């Protein structure tokens, strides 16, 4: 019996040693608890909350592919938004409506491979979350499982959208809300324009939120104070999205005082885009801030609030014209861009083999090319 006990203890010790040897992590890190996060690791919601509490502005930029994601990562941008604006600036559509869920997931996966540091947020595209909460949660889950995102963003503040946001949060997925100009509502709004700027536009917006207002406020929709009603509705909608569990709200195309009021009323960060300087952070479209798109199609959809921090489009156009000229006049590729060499013996051997195959013209061309490259070098 004592022998069996010793054997059992020996076996347990052997299994423990084997387990440690099989681990792909150093022994002192296994079950060691959470480790301090370094600046090279992914930005977390907790870090964003701390930044918000300290009053430090949050930076957000859109990205749609691996190169743009790498640029955002290198610059230390806080949040990388894979926006449905890809429909316009990447796919060439006039609105955000046509882009599909599958297309968005392709963009998300490419961005996730390129950005290691920013919090990754994916835009739920039009038609993928409006039907019911089951559809909304399923779509949001695909952004995390298949797209590699950390969170999602959805537009609008109707009761259905707020319910969808709440359901997604309850499913364990972080959500950013979006109020003000909501591009996915272009069919109702009749075009991209700042909302609540005048009575006419405010009435159009008010129809979107008609069923969220008390009866006495619905009557006011047709009064001279209709724009003020909508401004209040923006603030109330942002607060409803906060109540639903959103960790941040985008405020788009709003007068600065309205955005300031919303920011003050909320206890979560607001991210402004065309909403003035009084938000908790700002977001711009990658192509817009770089001044990348000079084509007339993009000129008509570039918003007035965008600031060009470069004119990359001019640089690209100049480079392409220079490349075309260099190829046309034969200066590219020269010796410095033709790095793969053959020594004289290889050239002669290659010539002889081509001659044996009856490819006399090809053999002569190879010899002449070798002589020309040697002369130019």
Query: Which positions are annotated as active-site residues?
Result: 252
d(CA 263, CA 269) in angstroms, rounded, equals: 7
Q: At what angle do helices 133-145 and 101-114 cross, to 10 degrees?
A: 30
155, 184 contact by CB (below 8 A)? yes
Q: How far apart are the first and last CA of the chain?
A: 86
Q: Which two tokens stand for residue 252?
A: 């788009």
272, 281 contact by CB (below 8 A)? yes
Give, as one character, the DSSP assignment of residue 268. Answer: S
| 276 Cβ contact partners less than 8 Å away, ≥ 6 residues apart | 254, 255, 256, 257, 259, 260
In sign, the C-alpha dihedral spanning 184, 186, 191, 196 is negative
**Bridging pattern class, strands 281-284 and 58-62:** parallel
Give, as one character, the DSSP assignment of residue 42. Answer: P
């Amino acid at each position: 019996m004592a022998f069996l006990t010793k054997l059992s203890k020996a076996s347990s010790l052997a299994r423990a040693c084997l387990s440690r040897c099989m681990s792909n992590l150093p022994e002192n890190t296994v079950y060691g608890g959470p480790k301090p996060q370094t600046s090279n690791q992914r930005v977390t919601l907790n870090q964003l909350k701390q930044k918000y509490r300290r009053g430090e502005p949050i930076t957000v930029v859109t990205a749609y592919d691996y190169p743009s994601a790498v640029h955002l990562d290198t610059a230390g941008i806080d949040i990388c938004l894979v926006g449905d604006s890809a429909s316009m600036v990447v796919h060439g559509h006039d609105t955000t409506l046509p882009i599909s869920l599958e297309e968005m997931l392709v963009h998300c996966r490419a961005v996730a491979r390129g950005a290691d540091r920013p919090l990754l947020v994916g835009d739920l595209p039009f038609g993928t979350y409006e039907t019911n909460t089951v559809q909304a949660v399923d779509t949001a889950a695909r952004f995390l499982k298949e797209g590699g995102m950390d969170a999602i963003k959805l537009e609008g503040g109707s009761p259905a959208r707020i319910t969808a946001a709440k359901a997604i949060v309850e499913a364990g997925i972080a959500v950013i809300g979006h109020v003000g100009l909501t591009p996915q509502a272009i069919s109702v709004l009749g075009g991209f324009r700042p909302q609540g700027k005048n009575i006419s536009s405010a009435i159009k917006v008010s129809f979107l939120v008609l069923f969220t207002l008390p009866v006495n406020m619905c009557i006011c929709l047709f009064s001279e104070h209709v724009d003020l009603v909508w401004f209040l509705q923006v603030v109330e909608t942002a607060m409803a999205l906060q109540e639903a569990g959103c960790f941040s709200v985008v405020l788009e195309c709003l007068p600065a005082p309205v955005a300031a009021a919303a920011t003050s009323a909320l206890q979560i960060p607001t991210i402004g885009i065309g909403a003035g300087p009084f938000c908790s952070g700002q977001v711009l479209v990658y192509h817009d801030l770089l001044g990348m798109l000079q084509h007339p199609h993009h000129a008509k959809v570039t918003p007035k609030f965008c600031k060009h921090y470069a004119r990359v489009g001019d640089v690209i156009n100049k480079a392409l014209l220079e490349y075309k000229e260099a190829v046309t006049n034969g200066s590219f590729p020269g010796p410095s861009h033709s790095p793969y060499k053959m020594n004289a013996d290889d050239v002669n051997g290659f010539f002889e083999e081509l001659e044996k195959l009856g490819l006399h013209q090809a053999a002569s061309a190879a010899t002449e090319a070798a002589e020309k490259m040697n002369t130019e070098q």
